[in-house]
Amino acid sequence: MSVLQKPDKGPVIHDWRPEDPAFWGSSGKQTATRNLWISIPALLLAFAVWMVWSTVIVRLNAIGFSFTTDQLFWLAALPGLSGATLRVFYSFMVPIFGGRRWTALSTASLLLPSIWMGFAVQDPSTSYSVFVLIALLCGFGGGNFASSMSNISFFYPKSQQGTALGLNAGLGNLGVSVMQFCVPLVITFGVFGFMGGSPQALPDGGQLWLQNAGFIWVPFIVLVTVLAWFCMNDLSSARASFSEQAVIFKRKHNWLMCWLYLATFGSFIGFSAAFPLLIKTSFPDVIALKFAFLGPLVGALVRPLGGWLADKLGGAKVTLWNFVAMIAMVFGVMHFLPQNGTGGNFYGFLGLFMLLFITTGVGNGSTFRMIPVIFRTQHEKASAGKPPAVREQALKDAGKESAAVLGFSSAMGAFGAFFIPKSFGSSMALTGGPEMAFYMFVGFYLSCIVVTWWWYARKGAATPC
């Protein structure tokens, strides 16, 4: 098809050449932009449902339940465990089913945990095991990220992938902050009238509609599902079987980037899940839900900046110095924590934690920018001096592999949503405070500095990016 020919119409696009300037300018950019701006709200809702337990657990005991602090941290951590596990499978779904179909189906799946949670919290006899199951089902939202990032990576040329992926992930990550801001508001009144059920009584005589934490997302999930189905596209050029994508398990750089992404996105999502309860346990006199949304908000907003900086300065350089900053911020947070139940400074703690969230956001964007560059460079080197057809196929293979790695590394990174809340819970159970967990994080970030410098940032690195 010539560049002057009209672009494909309908849900499936057979001719897609984002690296061709004429094609990109005539129709490609418009199509990619439309898919991106539907993908973003779908991902925002996924993050909102995935992390909703981080807010619900703060008020669960106030409406008649009697769970321990460790049990509550488990409810915050379990969506991270299931979400990360689902990401392993979701990361391969777009090339198999198509981005449009998979986005619509995966978004619709969020209805199950949202509706079930809304009914479960209204019944004071609901067992802890039922809440555990609902928390695990909220992992559907976590799984969506892997397929969403994989899908968007196919639509954009190499020079714009950092910015596009940063927008998709950064504005999608806002779902955590949007949820932590909205849920404390919508549970204070009967949003859905008699259809939403009766309120729960509080010990001080007040009322809560905690079911709204689940029900509030339902109409938006339905709307975005419809938009995805009718307005997004499938790319036939992105089709690949699982066996074609499974080659990434033999790629060293897949595992290295999984390690780095666990430190950046894993920190963002793990801190987001634990932050409300961490505030409540460390500073009992502070109303945690007034401040909890701020961390995920700043972390999500700066993620596109991380992708943009990586496009301009190089992903490895930005990532390396960002890990140095993360370590400094962790020590700053610990400085303002109460010692032996006394002292501490909440606003110092909050300010340093905001800076820590910012570094996780910048790292999210810069590490994701590194992946397409790494795999394109590897395939370009391998095909250098070979016939044009071989080089062209190598670039296609690089695109498919980098998309699979984007999804798979996001799966590994999502385990931070389990390990960080659980680390805080275990640290408090063993030592009475969260400091032990913070020291573990510092050790991990140090290992990431070594990995980034040796393989990607140092002079003479085999794969500079």
Handedness of CA 36, 42, 45, 49 (dihedral sign): negative
Question: What is the predicted pLDDT for the residue at 150?
Answer: 80
Alpha-carbon separation of residue 318 from 315, 321, 357, 369, 403 (angstroms): 5, 6, 16, 10, 21
Residue pLDDT tens, the chain, 465 long: 334 444 566 788 888 898 889 999 998 899 999 999 999 999 999 999 999 998 999 899 999 999 988 899 899 889 989 998 898 888 788 888 888 999 999 999 999 999 999 999 999 899 999 999 999 999 999 888 878 888 888 899 877 877 787 788 778 888 989 999 999 999 999 999 888 899 999 888 889 999 999 999 999 999 999 999 999 999 887 776 777 777 888 889 999 999 999 999 999 989 998 998 899 889 988 988 889 899 999 998 888 888 889 888 889 999 999 999 999 999 999 999 998 767 789 999 999 999 999 999 999 889 978 888 888 888 888 787 888 888 888 877 787 788 778 778 888 888 998 899 989 989 988 888 899 999 999 999 999 999 999 999 998 887 888
3-state class of 191 per DSSP?
coil
What is the rounded CA–CA span in Å between residue 421 and residue 396?
39
Which of 277, 226, 220 is CA-nearest to residue 77? 277
Q: Which of 312, 170, 318, 256 is nearest to 451 (CA)?
A: 256
Position 110 scores a pLDDT of 97
Return d(Cα 309, Cα 305) in angstroms, integer.
Answer: 6
Residue with tokens 């695990």: 136
| pLDDT for the residue 341 | 66
Rounded to whole angstroms, the Cα distance separating 411 from 414 reads 5
39: closest CA among 107, 92, 88?
107
* pTM of the predicted model over 0.75: yes
Report the distance separating Cα 191 and Cα 171, nearest Å. Answer: 26
pLDDT at 1: 39
Handedness of CA 101, 145, 82, 90 (dihedral sign): positive
Strand ranges inside 53-182, DSSP E: none
Q: Strands 207-208 and 200-201, how do they pair?
A: antiparallel
For the chain, the C-alpha Rg in angstroms (whole number) is 22
CA 216/CA 183 separation, integer angstroms: 8
